[in-house]
Structure 1
Amino acid sequence: ALLPTQAVSGSKGSKDNATRSKREEVPMEVWSMCGGLPLAIVTMAGHVACNPNKSKDEWLKDCKSLFPELGKVKGKDGGKKRTQEEVGKIVSHCYNDMPAEIKTCSLYLSIFSKGHRISRKRLTRRWIAEGFVSEKQGLTVEDVAETYFNHLIRRKIILPVDHSSNGKVKYCIVHDMVLEHIVAKASEENFITVVGGNWLMPPPSSKVRRLSLQGTDSKRAKDIEKMNLSHVRSLTMFGSLNNQLSSHSFKFGIVQVLDLEGCMGFKQHHTTEICKMLLLKYLSLRATDIKSLPDRIGKLVNLETLDIRETNVLELPKEVCQLEQLVNILGGNKRTRKALKLPGELNKKKKMKGLRILSGIEITAGSVDLHHLTELRKLAIYKLVTMGDDSSFEELRSSIEYLGGYSLHTLIIGDESSKFINSLDDLSSPPIFLIALELSGKMVKLPRWIRQLSALNKLTLPITALRTDNLRQLSDLEELFSLTFSFTAQNYDAETLTILSENKLHSRGQIKVPEAGFKSLKLLRFSAPLLPLLSFPKKAMPELERLELRFNLLEGLFGVENLEKLKEVHLTLDDKTRQAVTKKIAGEMENAAKKTKAKAPRIILETVIHSN
């Protein structure tokens, strides 16, 4: 549990300084009424953090309205343990204080079951599809949705459980008691109807507007059959399709959001019925066992998000190009780099001009022209299919150069042959607005223009680019938060080993981090079977908090004690037989850090066991 002073600090730096004087006005009665219970303290801390201008008298008035007895018997009530009902009153008070649009977004959390890890992007995209978020003061709907999400984090309504390498929250959860309160509110307002899972909710007294099926038995399935489902606008299912809805009831004509992520049991009639949902805006079939998309998907003319990641759908039908409202196409598999083929009609007819995310795709040389996608914010190419000619990707290179002058913020390119990523050095006009860049293949020399990416926050490069001179070049990127050097199984061979050996020769047999630069870097990650000797001199990476090393063999690591703000070192071993060696490295690292630091970084060991 956080102490009150810690829990209130929802932001860092100047924001904390600006509000500190106000926070000092928060009387101890506010914390006393929480009865020392962690949930009550944390929830109230979020409430305090979002009301920095509230006076002491106003806080005392809140305390009196919640618990009139507080303070009557001084010194006793402050130590009283609160009952579940009393903690519920505190949670309810904090919830009621939120702005109306944030309340609406928080009610939506009841769609997910108890303990479910909720993806930030999944949640915010659904808010947008439901119409809960609109553009404000020049911000896009995506940016406004991020603001709402961060507000809920600050309120402690949702709790982060995992972060992306760029520092953003990737997954969150909702405390059971907070979720119980939200589910009750959602039921009371007929906002969402939850069937199954951990909640026993009364059947809806009127039309069902949003339906969340969290696993049902035969009795509950019969209850669903009795419901008036003709007005369902949002349908979410967890588990198996066949156990929850019979074939004739999978018909929701006015559904706008259909989320079947992780559901198994896909049949032909399911895809047939989905293609009849003509008002559909958001369709997630992620991690289902669907094998292909029917041609009839072209009828979903209102569709904005199509998520088919981690499925066996390897190619989009040409009819997808009829979907002029599409904003997000999410395909392929990030872990295996299985990619999604685009239809040739995308190139010929210059369709889907409103696309903002095109992720997980495969591009064949000369087949795709993306110049017309001027709204594109993210382009993730998992696979490039060459045609033998070095100039065969000239159209793609030209597209990246052109889109880089518009909205392109994230660029990911996987290139097994490495010819294309090495040709990016020739760009005459680099994508200077990039926030995230990932290049995968065999690259030794960095693009000359990389130093111009002043907004770059996250950078992922192949392990072959790990050279002292390259690190020196990257050290000037003042906004860089996360830096990763990694490899893919396809490109780690004798040639890669040779490149790594040659890289060390440039700096006397070691990879040396520059003494200055990397002013904002928080995360440094290396991932390769063989990691060369790494050296951190004094004043290197002054803000680094987390160092991740994944390897079979590590040649050496010097100067960890010089990383003054280092908090965690993650050592992941890909070879169980060398576990003793890894523990020795961890011990040496910890001892070195203790010599110069009051508090040594936490060393976390992990062994990956590969199945045959």
Structure 2
Amino acid sequence: MVMVRHFVSTLLARLQIARQVRSLLDRATKLDQLRKRYELPVPSATSPIPASVQLPSYAETTNMVGIDSPRDEIIAKLTSARTRHEAGRRRVVSMVGFAGVGKTTLAKAVYSSLDDRFQCKAFVTVSRKFQLKRVLKDILQQLTTSNRSSSMPDPAIVSVDTWEVSKLGKEIRDNLKDKRYLIIIDDLWEISTWNDHISHVLPENSLDSIIITTTRNELVANACCPRYHPGHFVHRVAPLNEIDSRSLFFGRIFGPEQNYPRVLEQVSKKILKKCAGLPLAIVCISSLLAVTSIEAKKWEKVYSSLGSEIENNDVLSRLKQALRVGYDDLPQHLKVCRLYLSAFPENGKIERDRLTRRWIAEGFVDEKPGEAMQEVAEDYFSELIERSMIQAVDADCFGEIHACRIHNMMFELIAMKSHEENFVTLIGNRRGTSTQRTYVRRLSLECGTTTDGLDWSSLNLAHTRSLTVYGNIDSLDSVPLCRFLRMLDFECCVGVSSRHLKDIGELIMLKYLSFKSTWISELPAQIGELKCLETLDLMQTNVRELPMQVTRLQRLVHLLAGVAELPQGIGNMKSLQTLCIRVAGKSSKEAVKELHRLTNLTKLEMSYVGVHRKGKSSQDGSPDILPSTISKLGNYNLQSLHLNLLGYSTSLFLQIQILLPSPPANLQSLRISGDYGFQSVPKWIRSLNDLTDLELTVRMVGTQDLEILKGLPNLVRFRLTIKESSKEGITIPGSSLPFLKELFIHRRIMPVSFNQGVMPKLEKFELQLRAYQEDLKFIRTTIDHLQSLKEFQFTIAVQRGLSDFQVEYLKSSFKSAVFI
């Protein structure tokens, strides 16, 4: 009887021990597989277990690398905000950044540094699966513990597990209403979590309290820190620099002395480049290498198989989890768009327009009522950036992001997932030439030595929907052009010629075709057979003339023809929204008459070339068709007009300045430049109330011109080229251009000054000067009243006849203007 009682009473404990033993056995099996994979020696019983194998998080390491500077910057901003804004107001800081970049680590560092300055403090993690009651209970328990000298819980909240959410919120508010507090809300995912729940229980008590949130989502960060609230700010957490990355990497493997074998230098550089400053990646991979033989060959093997290691290796499980959680949270349409990035070269810059137009061609973008497909695709792009799924590149002063990159670690993960799902097949130098596929949906071909002599018959391309080609295809007699292709991209590909396009007329479903930045010089007449084509990109190519058959492409939306001439029949292409073209010959100038039939055109970029004859104007004196065509396009929705008038003297500029019946009212971007320029700023520009971007070439600028520019209320960027100098110079009047952020002036040296109150938001001022000897007396440039200026650049093109002393005088004069 006693033995039975003992058996029953110890049953639970023995079951728990059995589970732990089974877990240890599973772990031992996996470690043995890892040892065999990397051909490691079996450790002896007395061998010490490396500390790195325990895999502490970056935030848990005692000597955190690269954290001091951002921590001190945030604390300094908080102190400054308290001084500059209303003393006592609650301040919110939101840290935003990519998964694994160190947001939590930085928040903990700030929390520790400010610990003793607050009466109450708490550090809680929200996570993707938000549970309001758990978070509120966690906050309350930490607050009551920090208020007591004893570490024991407050007797008043012993029954907290049974409390309703409303009671938890009230207790937190009551606890904090008369105390200075510091609260960290880590890993915030949704705006509603902050707006509807957490912010309401943290009172504004005018005691200099601070809240710090961390998130991957830019929109969430901005919601926590609205711009209109003084003292709030968003801190974008940056990756580690090269020095700190090396210090963290080698320090975790070889200790603080970092006495690593020099034979590992090159492979270490490649691994660190792959990590791209991501602390979590560096910590996890260095932990894996810490149990790997100190041989360059073994490290190379780890490097070359990082994708599969992230997916399958337990040592890298935290890295995999951090990278995948954001991806798993995406809606299905964004998952597909992000997975598609594996078709692009690793670590390369991906232009937004190229990516979004390819998404559309692939069928990834859903139609929305009242929105163009391009607008919907750009919304997808913006959302991926806001979620920190891709990294923004080339942001302009309008807040538009024109390109992106994907982090190397994330690229490894999506390339592996793409391979598993047969989403994109990668063939080439980096991925090898594995062709073991039942069929290929999308092919990304990186040409080089590994693809020489590649047998296309080994690939089942019957169902291939897209083909992206990189590298040099000069040695390839042909490329596989499946008749069901929807997307064909040769951008930046070397060696593209007519032999690679001999069957292009059979691609009846093709929607996207790009030869951008290739050597191609002509298009086959078969191009007219591509009835579904929506994008044709010939920018930066040698194509000078389009075949007449191109005007049969009734569905073409974007014709980016570069230096190719405008074809007659262009008026038949009614779907065109974007047109980049050249007008030079008689035939193309006749075709200008047809442009007014393009009722869907939103962007027109045109080089308009005239030919000077000795003693004659570039025109015969008759009015040019261009001004009236521009006016007719204004009856529709033309939003961007860029004209480069080359080889013309006064005639065409005067006609546009004086004879333009009415400018396009919806213009947001207007650029008119050329060899000669307008006599003055055209008066009709003052009617363009929506204009945000303006570039002009003028002979001279006077007071009347400045008054016209003063009347542009929404201008954000302004580029002005002035051909002739004036001893009076330019004085920008006060209250002008209230939203201007960027100003570029190209001129001869003349006095420039800014009255008080002018351009209050100007952040960047670029000045390009042509210096002649007779202009030296006009050096008077001051930027005293540009209070928001962050960047001032000046370039001086010194003309002949200036001595070294005069050149130095020019330099010192402009340096003193900006207090260098």
TM-score (normalizing by structure 1): 0.77
Supply the distance in 1 between the matched residues of 2:384 and 2:325 (Cα, whole angstroms).
Answer: 15
Supply the distance in 2 between the matched residues of 1:374 and 1:48 (Cα, whole angstroms).
Answer: 48
Runs (5+) with no aligned partner, structure 2: 1-65, 75-89, 109-124, 129-183, 199-212, 217-278, 286-315, 612-617
Q: Percent identity?
A: 32
Q: 1:419 aligns with which of 651, 665, 678?
A: 651
Supply the distance in 1 between the matched residues of 2:363 and 2:810 (Cα, whole angstroms).
Answer: 51
Q: 2:564 aligns with which of 340, 360, 374?
A: 340
Counterpart of 2:502, as a letter, is T
Counterpart of 2:427, as a letter, is V
2:604 corresponds to 1:379: yes
Cα pair 1:157 1:174 within 8 Å, conserved:
yes
2:572 corresponds to 1:351: yes
2:817 is aligned to 589
CA deviation map 1:37-88 (0-9, x unaligned): 99xx9x999x96862123689xx9x99xxxxxxxxxxxxxxx9985253233
2:318 corresponds to 1:83: no
**Change in CA separation of 1:538 and 1:239 when aligned onto 2, cut-off 3 Å:** same
In the TM superposition, what is the alpha-carbon distance from 1:475 to its structure 2 partner?
Answer: 2.2
Counterpart of 1:560, as a letter, is I
In the TM superposition, what is the alpha-carbon distance from 1:591 to its structure 2 partner?
Answer: 1.5
Supply the distance in 1 between the matched residues of 2:560 and 2:503 (Cα, whole angstroms).
Answer: 21
Supply the distance in 1 between the matched residues of 2:527 and 2:367 (Cα, whole angstroms).
Answer: 28
In the TM superposition, what is the alpha-carbon distance from 1:139 to its structure 2 partner?
Answer: 1.4
1:335 is aligned to none
1:599 is aligned to none
In the TM superposition, what is the alpha-carbon distance from 1:261 to its structure 2 partner?
Answer: 0.9
Supply the distance in 1 between the matched residues of 2:783 and 2:409 (Cα, whole angstroms).
Answer: 42
2:720 corresponds to 1:485: yes
**Change in CA separation of 1:33 and 1:476 when aligned onto 2, cut-off 3 Å:** closer
For the pair shown, the structure with the greater C-alpha radius of gyration is 2
Q: Secondary structure at the match of 2:322?
A: helix
2:632 is aligned to 402
1:314 is aligned to 544
Higher mean Cα deviation, 101-110 or 556-565? 556-565
Supply the distance in 1 between the matched residues of 2:434 and 2:106 (Cα, whole angstroms).
Answer: 34
In the TM superposition, what is the alpha-carbon distance from 1:229 to its structure 2 partner?
Answer: 1.9
Cα pair 2:352 2:403 within 8 Å, conserved:
yes
Cα pair 1:120 1:170 within 8 Å, conserved:
yes
In the TM superposition, what is the alpha-carbon distance from 1:180 to its structure 2 partner?
Answer: 1.8
In the TM superposition, what is the alpha-carbon distance from 1:516 to its structure 2 partner?
Answer: 0.9
Q: Secondary structure at the match of 1:152?
A: helix
In the TM superposition, what is the alpha-carbon distance from 1:361 to its structure 2 partner?
Answer: 2.2
TM-score (normalizing by structure 2): 0.58
**Change in CA separation of 1:167 and 1:527 when aligned onto 2, cut-off 3 Å:** farther
Supply the distance in 1 between the matched residues of 2:92 and 2:752 (Cα, whole angstroms).
Answer: 46
Supply the distance in 2 between the matched residues of 1:366 and 1:49 (Cα, whole angstroms).
Answer: 60
In the TM superposition, what is the alpha-carbon distance from 1:269 to its structure 2 partner?
Answer: 1.2
In the TM superposition, what is the alpha-carbon distance from 1:465 to its structure 2 partner?
Answer: 5.3
In the TM superposition, what is the alpha-carbon distance from 1:199 to its structure 2 partner?
Answer: 4.6
Cα pair 1:353 1:373 within 8 Å, conserved:
yes
In the TM superposition, what is the alpha-carbon distance from 1:581 to its structure 2 partner?
Answer: 5.8
In the TM superposition, what is the alpha-carbon distance from 1:573 to its structure 2 partner?
Answer: 4.8
2:671 corresponds to 1:438: yes
In the TM superposition, what is the alpha-carbon distance from 1:300 to its structure 2 partner?
Answer: 1.4
In the TM superposition, what is the alpha-carbon distance from 1:345 to its structure 2 partner?
Answer: 3.0
1:455 is aligned to 690
Cα pair 1:129 1:282 within 8 Å, conserved:
yes
2:468 is aligned to 236
In the TM superposition, what is the alpha-carbon distance from 1:169 to its structure 2 partner?
Answer: 1.9
Cα pair 1:35 1:82 within 8 Å, conserved:
no
Supply the distance in 2 between the matched residues of 1:82 and 1:550 (Cα, whole angstroms).
Answer: 47
Q: 2:742 aligns with which of 523, 541, 544?
A: 523
Supply the distance in 1 between the matched residues of 2:654 and 2:487 (Cα, whole angstroms).
Answer: 42
Cα pair 2:432 2:450 within 8 Å, conserved:
no
Runs (5+) with no aligned partner, structure 1: 7-19, 64-78, 333-338, 488-495, 593-612
Cα pair 2:456 2:480 within 8 Å, conserved:
no
2:705 corresponds to 1:470: yes
In the TM superposition, what is the alpha-carbon distance from 1:464 to its structure 2 partner?
Answer: 2.9
2:744 corresponds to 1:536: no
Aligned residues: 527
In the TM superposition, what is the alpha-carbon distance from 1:366 to its structure 2 partner?
Answer: 4.1
Cα pair 2:326 2:389 within 8 Å, conserved:
no
Q: Secondary structure at the match of 1:414?
A: strand
In the TM superposition, what is the alpha-carbon distance from 1:557 to its structure 2 partner?
Answer: 5.3
Counterpart of 1:173, as a letter, is R
**Change in CA separation of 1:527 and 1:510 when aligned onto 2, cut-off 3 Å:** closer
What does 1:265-276 correspond to in 2, within 5 Å?
265-276=495-506
Cα pair 2:576 2:600 within 8 Å, conserved:
yes
Q: 2:767 aligns with which of 534, 549, 574?
A: 549
**Change in CA separation of 1:201 and 1:91 when aligned onto 2, cut-off 3 Å:** farther
What does 1:499-514 correspond to in 2, within 5 Å?
500-501=724-725, 504=726, 509-514=728-733
Counterpart of 2:494, as a letter, is M
In the TM superposition, what is the alpha-carbon distance from 1:326 to its structure 2 partner?
Answer: 1.0
Cα pair 2:693 2:716 within 8 Å, conserved:
yes
Supply the distance in 2 between the matched residues of 1:585 and 1:204 (Cα, whole angstroms).
Answer: 68
Supply the distance in 2 between the matched residues of 1:360 and 1:479 (Cα, whole angstroms).
Answer: 28
Cα pair 1:23 1:52 within 8 Å, conserved:
no
**Change in CA separation of 1:558 and 1:586 when aligned onto 2, cut-off 3 Å:** closer
1:293 is aligned to 523
Q: 1:108 aligns with which of 337, 340, 363?
A: 340
Higher mean Cα deviation, 380-389 or 441-450? 380-389
CA deviation map 1:139-182 (0-9, x unaligned): 11111122111112212222233234654222322221122222
- Greater share of helix: 2
Supply the distance in 1 between the matched residues of 2:107 and 2:505 (Cα, whole angstroms).
Answer: 50
1:607 is aligned to none
Cα pair 1:49 1:155 within 8 Å, conserved:
no
Higher mean Cα deviation, 303-312 or 169-178? 169-178
In the TM superposition, what is the alpha-carbon distance from 1:435 to its structure 2 partner?
Answer: 0.9
Cα pair 1:22 1:54 within 8 Å, conserved:
no
CA deviation map 1:253-288 (0-9, x unaligned): 211111101112123211213333222111111111
Counterpart of 2:639, as a letter, is H
**Change in CA separation of 1:580 and 1:276 when aligned onto 2, cut-off 3 Å:** farther
**Change in CA separation of 1:518 and 1:96 when aligned onto 2, cut-off 3 Å:** same
Counterpart of 1:342, as a letter, is L
